[in-house]
Amino acid sequence: MKNIWFPILILLNAFCIAHAQSNPDGGHKADSRNMRLVGAHDLQGRSAFQPIIVQQGKRWIAYVGHHGGSAVNSLTGQKEANGTSILDVTDPARPQYIHHLPTSSGEVVAGGEGGGAQMVQICAGKDLPKGDPAKFYMLRTDGRKAHEIWDVTTPEKPARVSIVVDNLRSTHRQAWECDTGIAYVNSGLPGWQVLRMTQVFDLSDPAKPVHIRDFALPGQQPGAPKRENPRLHDGHGPFSTGPKGNRLYFGYGNVGNGAFQIVDRKKLLEGPKEPTAENLLYPQVSFQIVGTGQAVHSVYPLIGMEIAEFANSPKGKVRDFLLVLPEPIENDCQEERQMMHVVDITNDAQPFGVANFQVPHKSGDYCTRGGRFGPHQTQENLTPIYHKRVVFVAWLNAGVRAVDIRDPYNPKEIGHYVPATNQHTIPSCYKHGGKSQCKVAIVTNNVEVDDRGYAYMTDRAHTGLHIIELTGSARAVANFK
């Protein structure tokens, strides 16, 4: 009997250990439809924000920005303030951690986005007007105080090139046009009446940053009348269509009362730069309040969409749209429900909503499993594999949702992936009725895709990086050749 049961007990014990690691007490298992896990990495247990994936020579390199906090660097054995994780993902099934670049100040803001180096952008030197064609450059935040540029030609040995701007009181989103070198960075510039506004720099020569102007909404500039709630419309930075599209799409909002703004890029860069109310308004094409409880964190333009239903119509068969993503703040749906809005911007002076996309709570008990539930961000890489076909949306505790956007009037989910919690996943806590409520759940912060078609999802609850791909009928929607 002992000989019979012993191997069974061994198998049961192994199963229990594996189950405990993938689904700790209070956590949850993985869940997926038409998407599969290719590979994963724990990122040394750090809270993760933005991933960027680029091909450097024969290697594919992932750069992951982190929230504030600290952890032991497994490569050196030293405890380091969260900065930027750099991984070789040439084989996405076996991502290799090759470097961690901490913030220079060593500042640790536990759980705070203002610490760490949460944002990151990469440009190849050959694409920049004045870059070294043999090099790769990284623009990242340095805690709450600065934006800086690093030479990451050898990802294992980054070397700082320049400080774009420092002495700030907050940092957040960045956008960098590699073909022009123009960068739009979220900054907490002293004197302005919001914690986050936009600074514009010419980074065409990464070693010599040139300040172009500062930009925010009228009434947020220094010297404007004091506002009752100065953070009402904190800026989240723009999505740029570059010189060809000549448009910038900004999201605004802190906790509720969100809005989006469409800006003429040429007027912003070449118009009057003194931050008066008139000059700040000059490049604006339109400004749209989304509503209370809808702080707009991300926007994603879909320009020149051919509408199949309108193919036989003499007018309106090609239209422009903007996906608007408010960000939920409260755990367990203790706020107005957040959803992704589809806005028609064909006449971008008069935008109007045409549809929305939601993830049903009941599909995963998302309002009770812990963490925040709702949209946060879409992929930003406009690879032809997915652009105008599939949008990946980071839906916080509901993982990543793949949305068929070919008919913007009827966005449909075609797949999803929700990772399992693991030994690194920390509880998400909030107070309800005067008592603290804590639950263990993944919280997918961002998603990005590479030019091979893999999607990369990062977790702010310390669960790590997951590399996924579409399968089945969802894969057929994409443009794999």
pLDDT for position 373: 96
Residue 3 has pLDDT above 60, yes or no: no
Percent of the chain scoring above 90 in pLDDT: 81
Tokens of 462: 């310390």
Q: By mean pLDDT, which of 4-18, 265-279, 335-349, 385-399 is the weakest?
A: 4-18
pTM of the model as a whole? 0.93
Residue 245 has pLDDT above 50, yes or no: yes
The span from the CA of 324 to the CA of 296, in Å, is: 7
Residue 432 has pLDDT above 90, yes or no: no
| Mean pLDDT of the region 317-331 | 94
Task: Specify which residues 122 forms β-bridges with.
Answer: 138
The span from the CA of 192 to the CA of 316, in Å, is: 42
Percent of the chain scoring above 70 in pLDDT: 91
- How far from chain centre, in Å, is Cα 47? 13
| Mean pLDDT of the region 334-345 | 94
pLDDT for position 113: 56
| Mean pLDDT of the region 372-376 | 96
Residue 18 has pLDDT above 60, yes or no: no
| Mean pLDDT of the region 144-167 | 97
| Mean pLDDT of the region 448-474 | 98
Please name the amino acid found at residue 17.
I
Residue 5 has pLDDT above 70, yes or no: no
Residue 13 — pLDDT band, cuts 50, 70, 90?
Answer: very low
Exposure string (b/e) for 219-257, b if CB count within 10 Å is 16 or more? bbbeebeeeeebebbbbbbbbbbeeeebbbbbbbbbebb
Q: In what order do the strands lie in the sheet with 235-240?
A: 235-240, 247-254, 256-264, 284-291
CB 262 within 8 A of CB 251: no
| Mean pLDDT of the region 56-63 | 98
Residue 106 — pLDDT band, cuts 50, 70, 90?
Answer: low
pLDDT for position 20: 34
Mean pLDDT of the chain: 91
| Mean pLDDT of the region 436-449 | 96
pLDDT for position 16: 35
Residue 109 has pLDDT above 60, yes or no: no
pLDDT for position 229: 65
Comparing 224 with 398, which gets the higher pLDDT? 398
Nearest residue to 245 via CA among 393, 404, 382, 450:
382
Q: By mean pLDDT, which of 102-116, 197-211, 445-459 is the weakest?
A: 102-116
Residue 11 has pLDDT above 60, yes or no: no
Comparing 69 with 125, which gets the higher pLDDT? 125
The span from the CA of 106 to the CA of 192, in Å, is: 26
Nearest residue to 98 via CA among 108, 111, 110, 89:
89
pLDDT for position 406: 98
pLDDT tens sequence across 169-221: 989 999 999 999 999 999 999 999 998 999 999 999 999 999 999 999 999 99
With helix as H, strand as E and coil as C, how does the chain read? CHHHHHHHHHHHHHHHHHHHHHCCCCCCCCEEECEEEEEEECHHHCCEEEEEEEEECCEEEEEEEECCCEEEECCCCEEEECCEEEEECCCCCCCEEEEEECCCCCCCCCCCCCCCCCCEEEEECCCCCCCCCCCEEEEEEECCCEEEEEECCCCCCCEEEEEEECCCCCEEEEEECCCCCEEEEEECCCCCCCCCEEEEEECCCCCCCEEEEEECCCCCCCCCCCCCCCCCCCEEEEEECHHHHCEEEEEEEECEEEEEEEEEHHHHHHCCCCCCHHHHHCCEEEEEEEECCCCEEEEEEEEEEECHHHCCCCCCCEEEEEEEEECCCCHHHCCCCCCEEEEECCCCCCCEEEEEECCCHHHCCCCCCCCCEEEEEECCCCCCCCCCCEEEEEEECCCEEEEECCCCCCCEEEEEEECCCCCCCCEEEEEECCEEEEEECCCEEEEEECCCCCEEEEECCCCCEEEEEECHHHHHHCCCC
Residue 266 — pLDDT band, cuts 50, 70, 90?
Answer: very high
Tokens of 230: 């100065």
